């Protein structure tokens, strides 16, 4: 039986030289990716939920509800965005969501499965996206305790606004 995550073969996308150099491919997200994306989302919350003491069923239900709410929020607020799945060796390993506006490139979300973290994939994707932004500011909302905060700072992102749990980070035009 065919793997539903591979309904559309991935192909190199122009402007993603670093990504391609690491053997990664980007492709548009499809409805067939929903299960993978839900699992990916859950993988980003496991550490947090381990602290709750909730039964596994309660965690699964919570994660399903939160994933659905996040997806609906993204669709409602980021019309015209790029919704990309990251693949390596024919398997989905992450997602990259972003939107190009006139003066800004907003990174909506970037996430990788645990086995694909700390391998430079996120750095490569962010550097490629920064290059694509040209003179525009690049921004992202990041949870205050997100371990990737150090990566964003290394790439020149600074706090533009403190929103409590989230920080709006921006990498201004002309930063080298």
First to last CA, the chain: 48
Label residue 17 by pLDDT band (50, 70, 90).
very high
- Scanning 33-147, the segments in alpha helix (DSSP H) are 34-50, 56-77, 121-133
Report the percent of the chain where pLDDT is more than 90: 80
| Range from 13-22, 111-120, 141-150 that averages highest in pLDDT | 111-120
pLDDT at 161: 96
Number of H helices, E strands in the chain: 5, 7
Strands 158-163 and 91-100, by their bridges, are unpaired
Is residue 7's pLDDT more than 60? no
- d(C-alpha 130, C-alpha 124), whole Å: 10
Predicted TM-score (pTM) of the model is 0.88
Whose structure tokens read 């694509």?
Answer: 132
Q: For 116-174, how does the pLDDT look when each residue is reduced to its tens digit (9 = 90+)?
A: 999 999 999 999 999 999 999 999 999 998 889 999 999 999 999 999 999 999 998 76
Average predicted confidence (pLDDT) for the chain: 90
Q: Which domains does the chain have, with CATH numbers?
A: 4-136 (3.40.630.30)
């Amino acid at each position: 039986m065919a793997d539903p995550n591979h309904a559309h073969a991935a192909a190199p996308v122009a402007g993603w030289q670093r990504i391609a150099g690491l053997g990664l491919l980007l492709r548009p997200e499809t409805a067939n990716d929903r299960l993978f994306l839900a699992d990916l989302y859950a993988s980003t919350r496991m550490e947090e939920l381990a602290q709750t003491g909730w039964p596994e069923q309660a965690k699964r239900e919570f994660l399903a509800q939160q994933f659905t709410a996040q997806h609906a929020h993204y669709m409602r607020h980021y019309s015209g965005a790029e919704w990309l799945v990251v693949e390596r060796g024919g398997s989905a390993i992450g997602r990259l969501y972003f939107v190009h506006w006139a003066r800004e490139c907003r990174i909506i979300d970037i996430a990788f499965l645990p086995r694909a973290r700390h391998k430079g994939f996120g750095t490569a994707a962010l550097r490629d996206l920064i290059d694509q932004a040209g003179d525009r500011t690049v921004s992202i909302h990041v949870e205050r305790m997100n371990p990737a905060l150090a990566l964003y700072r290394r790439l020149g992102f600074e706090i533009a606004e403190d929103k409590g749990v989230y920080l709006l980070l921006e990498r201004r035009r002309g930063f080298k």
